[in-house]
């Protein structure tokens, strides 16, 4: 009991301390996001909006419409849709796989297992609908339903090609990565390199060409391109030169009203607020610190580590070429890219306008998302090796960056155990009132207040009756994905088999 009490008090003080810093940071982020934008944006910058697509049949039409509206806000902006042969490969009508799907539908296998096993043959939403439609049907009827669903479901590459053809080559272009085993980073590198060659052939300077990467479900602010162009123009005479790498942060609140009913929906809503609170408390402040330090002390050892995110990322064509494209040897490309930029002393400029993204719609996809996101943290030494091979930064700087990354990974691994200890502390402590006040205040500063500030930044209402219990549950579960990811890394070290980079939604 004494050990539990001691652990509880330590966890409570740590959570309270991080709650204080998180609340202060979130309030600062909210003020920074409220700054006025220049009335006249800078001219001379050309943007290409790049979106990797895999099984996005349901979103591709609305996506292109939304991106076209965004492109219209800045002259010369175009759209690049990047698809992959991996989708066609997964959809090959293997008679055994199709027959197996029909058999499991007839056997009444639950929709979640159907999606997990047959995702790729059809999108997740269509597999779920198929499972509902096939309930109570015999095997022959299930085989007919599967065949009809496959016939009606055109693959994303075909839809992207049609949209590009109808929109015209100047507005929308389609790039299809031809290899069967490539992931999202290979799609992006393929499309960006193709766009770069095209732009150079047209006489566009790489110093004026920016690639802006979004996901299929991204909802960037309508003023994004105007703000980015103004930021680029304003930074032209700043120490370190004009911006070459810009990050637009996201809140994960776009679909909170559409989450499933019941306990799962409450937890997922809490997860959306938990991630949004992290954006305000940690991501934006780190970007601001890194950009300021890189401009003032480009060669300094104590470079703050800030990370890039794979959506809302804006990278200039010449920097993309210098870095050799997005890193393909690490489990995720975005955190490794941020590490390389920090090692090289490149400022990662935060954009003072938010993107609004979705939170996952199932507990399984949320945990899988965290499992995938965490893969970068044990690989910070690998990112350091990439930076060393490229000659970026001194050994001391790379060591400091690596330590920061590993510590942040450890904090994520410890988040759920720490929160659990804080909750238990008032029940086991001898000074229960003091423990209860410390626990409540720590959790309020750690989650509740920053989440409320994130809601103000997003312009979304908070439902305390769902957000608070949901956030508490999400914190208690949030370390599961990272621990599973760590197990994946251990298995990879033992066997040499690299875990697949799986899509966690749709």
Q: Do the beta carbons of residue 341 and residue 308 sit within 8 Å?
A: yes
Alpha carbon distance 18, 413 (integer Å): 15
Q: Do the beta carbons of residue 502 and residue 484 sit within 8 Å?
A: no
Identify which of 193, 201, 199 has the alpha carbon closest to the alpha carbon of residue 77: 199
**424: confidence class by pLDDT, cuts 50, 70, 90:** very high
Indicate the SS3 state at residue 52.
strand
Indicate the SS3 state at residue 330.
coil
| Mean pLDDT, residues 445-471 | 94
> For 237-267, what is each residue's pLDDT tens digit?
888 889 999 999 999 999 998 888 899 999 9
Q: Do the beta carbons of residue 82 and residue 50 sit within 8 Å?
A: yes
> Taking the complete model, does pTM exceed 0.75, yes or no?
yes
| Mean pLDDT, residues 14-19 | 96
Alpha carbon distance 246, 349 (integer Å): 5
**98: confidence class by pLDDT, cuts 50, 70, 90:** confident
Alpha carbon distance 197, 234 (integer Å): 28
Q: Does the pLDDT value for residue 476 go beyond 60?
A: yes
- The two most distant CA atoms of the chain are separated, in Å, by 74
Q: At what angle do helices 95-106 and 111-118 cross, to 10 degrees?
A: 170
Least confident range of 86-95, 424-433, 445-454: 86-95
Check residue 95 and give its pLDDT.
64
DSSP states of 171-214: TEEEEEE--SS--HHHHHHHHHHHHHHHHHHTT--GGGEEEEE-
| Mean pLDDT, residues 92-98 | 67
SS3 per-residue string spanning 129-166? HHHHHCCCCCHHHHHHHHHHHHHHCCCHHHHHHHHHHH
Q: Does the pLDDT value for residue 39 go beyond 80?
A: no
Answer with the residue of higher pLDDT: 310 or 20: 20
| Mean pLDDT, residues 438-455 | 96
Least confident range of 34-48, 166-180, 289-303, 398-412: 34-48
Check residue 352 and give its pLDDT.
95
Check residue 91 and give its pLDDT.
65
Q: Do the beta carbons of residue 182 and residue 84 sit within 8 Å?
A: yes
| Mean pLDDT, residues 378-388 | 95
Q: Does the pLDDT value for residue 190 go beyond 90?
A: yes
Percent of the chain whose predicted confidence (pLDDT) is above 70: 95
Alpha carbon distance 193, 317 (integer Å): 9
> For 101-143, what is each residue's pLDDT tens digit?
888 888 888 887 887 777 767 777 788 888 888 888 888 988 8
Check residue 92 and give its pLDDT.
63
Check residue 134 and give its pLDDT.
87
Indicate the SS3 state at residue 250.
strand
Identify which of 318, 299, 319 has the alpha carbon closest to the alpha carbon of residue 393: 299
Q: Do the beta carbons of residue 339 and residue 387 sit within 8 Å?
A: yes
Check residue 503 and give its pLDDT.
64
Alpha carbon distance 354, 235 (integer Å): 20
Query: Exposed e or buried b for every residue in 459-486, given b needs 16+ CB within 10 A?
Result: ebebeeebbbebbbbbbbbbbebbbbbb
Least confident range of 123-127, 374-378, 449-453, 458-462: 123-127
């Amino acid at each position: 009991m004494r050990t539990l009490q001691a652990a509880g008090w330590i966890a409570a003080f740590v959570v309270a301390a991080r709650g204080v810093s998180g609340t202060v940071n979130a309030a600062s982020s909210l003020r920074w996001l409220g700054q006025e934008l220049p009335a006249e944006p800078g001219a001379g910058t050309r943007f290409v909006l790049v979106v990797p697509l895999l099984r996005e049949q349901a979103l591709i039409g609305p996506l292109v419409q939304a991106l076209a509206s965004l492109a219209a806000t800045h002259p010369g902006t175009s759209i690049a849709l990047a698809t992959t042969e991996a989708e066609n490969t997964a959809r090959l009508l293997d008679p055994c796989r199709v027959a197996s799907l029909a058999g499991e539908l007839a056997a009444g296998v639950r929709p979640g297992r159907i999606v997990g096993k047959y995702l790729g043959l059809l999108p997740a939403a269509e597999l779920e609908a198929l499972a509902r439609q096939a309930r109570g049907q015999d095997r022959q009827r299930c085989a007919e339903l599967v065949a009809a669903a496959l016939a009606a479901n055109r693959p994303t590459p075909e839809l992207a090609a049609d949209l590009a053809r109808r929109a015209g080559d100047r507005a929308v272009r389609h790039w299809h990565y031809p290899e069967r085993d490539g992931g999202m980073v290979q799609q992006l590198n393929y499309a960006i390199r193709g766009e770069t060659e095209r732009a150079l052939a047209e006489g566009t300077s790489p110093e004026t060409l920016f690639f802006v990467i979004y996901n299929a479900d991204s909802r960037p602010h309508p003023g994004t391109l105007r703000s980015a162009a103004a930021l680029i123009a304003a930074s032209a005479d700043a120490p370190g030169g004009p911006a070459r790498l810009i990050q637009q942060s996201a809140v994960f609140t776009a679909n909170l009203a559409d989450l499933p009913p019941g306990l799962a929906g409450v937890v997922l809503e809490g997860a959306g607020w938990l991630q949004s609170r992290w954006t305000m408390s940690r991501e934006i402040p780190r970007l601001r610190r890194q950009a300021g330090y890189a401009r003032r002390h480009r060669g300094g050892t104590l470079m703050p580590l800030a990370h890039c995110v794979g959506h809302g990322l804006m990278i200039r064509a010449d920097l993309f070429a210098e870095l050799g494209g997005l890193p393909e040897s690490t489990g995720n490309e975005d955190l490794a890219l941020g590490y390389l930029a920090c090692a090289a002393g490149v400022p990662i400029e935060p954009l003072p306008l938010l993107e609004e993204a979705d939170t996952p719609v199932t507990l399984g996809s949320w945990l899988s998302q965290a499992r995938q996101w965490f893969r970068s943290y044990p690989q910070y030494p690998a990112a350091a090796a990439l930076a060393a091979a490229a000659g970026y930064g001194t050994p001391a700087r790379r060591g400091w960056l690596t330590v920061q990354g590993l510590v942040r990974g450890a904090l994520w691994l410890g988040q759920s155990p720490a929160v659990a200890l804080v909750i238990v502390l008032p029940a086991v402590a001898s000074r229960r009132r003091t423990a209860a006040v410390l626990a409540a205040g720590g959790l309020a500063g750690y989650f509740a207040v920053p989440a409320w500030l994130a809601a103000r930044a997003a312009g979304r209402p908070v439902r305390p009756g769902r957000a608070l219990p949901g956030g508490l549950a999400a914190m208690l579960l949030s370390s599961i994905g990272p621990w599973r990811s760590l197990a994946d890394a251990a298995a990879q070290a033992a066997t040499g088999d690299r875990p697949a980079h799986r899509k966690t939604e749709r």
